[in-house]
Amino acid sequence: MTTISSPTALGSSRRPSPIRTLAELQASGWRSRSVKDELRENFTQALVAATRSGAAGASTLFPGIVGYDDTVLPEVANGLLAGHDLLFLGEKGQGKSRLMRLLPRFLDEWLPYLDLPGSPVHEDPERPITRAGRELLASRPPEEVPIAWWHRDDRYAERLAPGTKFADVIGEIDPAKLISGTSMSAEEALHFGLIPRQHRGIFAMNELPDLDELVQVGLFNILEERDVQIRGYPVRFDLDILVLFSANPSTYNRSGKVIPQLKDRIGSTIATHYPRERSTGMAITRQEAGIELDGDFPVVVPPFMEEIVEEIARSARSSRLVDQASGVSARFAIANYRTMIANARRRAISLGERPAVPRISDLAHLKSSAIGKLELDLMGSHQMTEAQAIDAIVAGAISTVFEEYVDAHGLAPIVEVFAEGVRVEVGDMLPSTAYEAALRVAPAAWSKAFEVNAANDAAVRASCCEFVLAGMWATDRLSRSEKHGRISYEAPGT
């Protein structure tokens, strides 16, 4: 028997199958299967197809996921093949929600269900779980049993744990139905929550440790028995559902935050992580920033500027100033990258320059995008403000990248020039053409900038000049002061 897995092609208009009755459905060769079997079989087919085409990586099976090919994705694959409910365990900004939202792509595009007016449940045409569904099959021949179709996009529901009540996800007794004479112990008296409504679909709960203990007990019953108990009345439904969770390790592993019985019944725990390599983080930032660098005011981003923005995030993830239990989201780097590009473009528009090229002085504006995205360690930061902590982290990132680009032994001539009292002023709104004149007093610094990038474009040269000056400041070879948007570099102690 074949399976009707896609009545319409992927990406086509949402027009369901022409099948409208149970008799037509049975004649088509459709077979009933659980949602986990459906996911397992469809994922297997996708994996086989990707392997044969030589593209069994994230770009094919999990589009948009970068850096997890050898770590996270194999565990997700194993979980799907094993038919497990899954917990994605990791700090904020590690793609947990995105991974969960990608799993519906392995569902059938359209799923048939009993077209039962007023029913909140998408019943299996051959195995209904409600009394109304069973009565429909018992009272009509297959030719008169109506069938409707459920699209896979609608078979995924997600909830954030804080503030979630039992009635939201499990259900509640409906007072209006009791008034009409319905027995409190009858299923007709229930108002279904999200999970029963997602029967034959996927339900995801974000930030599991913040979920009320009563709701956790309800989830435990669903994972263990696939039944629902509301107000002490056991109403058994053979729920068919894949349950997903996400959590932060610092709270998930804290005693008392998640009941042990619920932990024990989650099939697979998928540990996510931040990018292991800077280049991977840069690829994620570029992808997620979604900024078009062409157009009327094109932007050229020097490699060292892109690396500094990513290194700021990497440095924050190891800084003693930051509470590492809270993590530093990928959104931190993405927002900073966008801000850097925006200020470079603003300068280009104001000065009529093309292309716009980000500089170190553009990073002064990162506070607007960085503040609120870091949680300070009150012990490690020594009462430092968030703005001061960001300045310190940015300086450390500049130093790290600078030392990778510039040979420290070649900096002595520049230090000697500044020791003679030379002072150089730069700024984010200084025209690129002014940098050659500004560094005429320090020809060694101008030459060193050309070693970083021997470009002839004035805007690129200006960016390289600032990189050299800022790198020497970050490595304690120069001092720096800032006033009214202008940055001055001079010898230490001047």
At residue 9, the pLDDT reads 34
- Span 459-484, pLDDT tens digits: 999 999 999 999 999 999 999 998 87
At residue 65, the pLDDT reads 93
- Span 187-212, pLDDT tens digits: 666 678 888 899 999 999 999 999 99
Q: Which of 33-42, 109-118, 481-490 has the lowest mean pLDDT?
A: 481-490
- Span 333-355, pLDDT tens digits: 999 999 999 999 999 999 999 99
For residue 374, how far is the Cα from the chain centroid? 17
At residue 24, the pLDDT reads 95
Q: Where are the alpha helices (DSSP H) in 129-240?
A: 131-139, 166-169, 175-179, 194-197, 213-225
Per the CB < 8 A criterion, the answer to whether 462 and 300 are in contact is no
- Span 428-446, pLDDT tens digits: 999 999 998 888 898 988 8
Secondary structure (3-state) at 72: helix
CATH 3.40.50.300 matches 22-271: yes
pTM of the prediction?
A: 0.88
| Torsion region of 411: left, alpha or beta (phi above 0 gives left; psi -120 to 50 gives alpha) | alpha
Confidence of residue 227 (pLDDT cuts 50, 70, 90): low
Per the CB < 8 A criterion, the answer to whether 243 and 203 are in contact is yes
- Give yes or no for residue 315 having a pLDDT over 80: yes
At residue 278, the pLDDT reads 96
Q: Which of 56-65, 84-93, 176-185, 485-494 has the lowest mean pLDDT?
A: 176-185
Residues in a beta bridge with 21: 146
Of residues 237, 240, 243, the one with CA closest to residue 203: 243
Angle (nearest 5°) at CA 185 between 228 and 238:
30
Enumerate the domain spans of the chain: 22-271, 278-490
Separation CA 329–CA 326 (nearest Å): 9
- Span 397-425, pLDDT tens digits: 999 999 999 988 889 999 999 999 999 99
Separation CA 459–CA 261 (nearest Å): 61
At residue 45, the pLDDT reads 93
Separation CA 325–CA 120 (nearest Å): 41
At residue 10, the pLDDT reads 35
In the chain, pLDDT over 90 holds for what percent of residues?
67
